[in-house]
Amino acid sequence: MLKPQRKIIRKEIKRDPFLETIDKIEYNFEQNRKTYLYIALGLIAVIISGNFLLNKQSQKDIDSNSALGIALVAFDNEDYENAKFQFETILSDFSGTNSSNIANYYLGKISFENNGLIKAESYLNEYLNNSEPDILIPGTIKILSNIALKNNEFDKAIKLLDRGLRLGLDNNISNEFKLLKVSILIEQDKIEISQNILNEILLEKKLPIHLKQRSEELIGMM
């Protein structure tokens, strides 16, 4: 015999956009994973060739860049165990190099996807605190804020998103951060602040359709 469906209360309905926004951000990041990878590989090639021409690259830098390239290929091929081993080796053998810092990011992502939230947070904070704004910073902040949300640390998640907003990132990425922030603020019943942020987003003339739709969804739940 089928059990009668439990009535969904208003609080649960209100929570749906919050969870959906997190899922959409994770999906968006996955859709752009190859782009991030190719850019990272391109940056490595530029660094290698540029430093070679200037005769300023040490053997340690050359070896670390080569090792990073191998690790990124393994990651892109979804050979995560091998990639994890390669990234860990880079951390131990090439400490202090740019490659080792990039390894922190990918180890954080692998740990996060395997529910190792404590390790993921440690790796990603190491990357975030030792990097200039680059193509991996938005993903780093998104994952760290997601970890905070999973731990019900809403204020911590907001602080991370605000940190991202201060970096002057791409406008669409900034709006992604604002929408996630609004989801959290709605959970905290901070309706007026949420409304102001959403109005600001919707006033943009070239706002992508998916961001407009998500903004309107959030307005409808307040």
| Residue ranges of domains in the chain | 58-131, 137-222
pLDDT at 49: 52
pLDDT at 58: 78
Residue 193 has φ and ψ, to the nearest 5°, of: -65, -40
Cα 164 from Cα 186, distance rounded (Å): 20
What is 137-222's CATH topology?
Answer: 1.25.40
Cα 216 from Cα 198, distance rounded (Å): 8
Q: Determine the average pLDDT of the residues in 102-125.
A: 96
Q: Which residue has the tokens 């640390």?
A: 153
pLDDT at 5: 36
pLDDT at 39: 56
pLDDT tens profile 159-209: 999 999 998 778 899 999 999 999 999 999 999 999 999 999 999 988 999
Confidence of residue 211 (pLDDT cuts 50, 70, 90): very high
Q: Which two tokens stand for residue 29?
A: 């990041």
Residue 119 contacts residue 109 (beta carbons within 8 Å):
no
Q: How much is the mean pLDDT over the chain?
A: 81
Confidence of residue 70 (pLDDT cuts 50, 70, 90): very high
pLDDT at 12 over 90: no
Q: Determine the average pLDDT of the residues in 60-78.
A: 91
Q: In Å, how far are 61, 142, 194, 212 from 136, measured between CA atoms?
A: 20, 10, 27, 25
Cα 82 from Cα 123, distance rounded (Å): 18
Q: Closest Cα to residue 79, out of 98, 97, 106, 104?
A: 106
Is-same-fold flag (58-131; 137-222)? yes
Write out the CATH class of domain 58-131: mainly alpha
Q: Determine the average pLDDT of the residues in 21-40.
A: 52
pLDDT tens profile 120-154: 999 999 999 998 878 899 999 999 999 999 999 99
Q: What is the pTM of this model?
A: 0.74
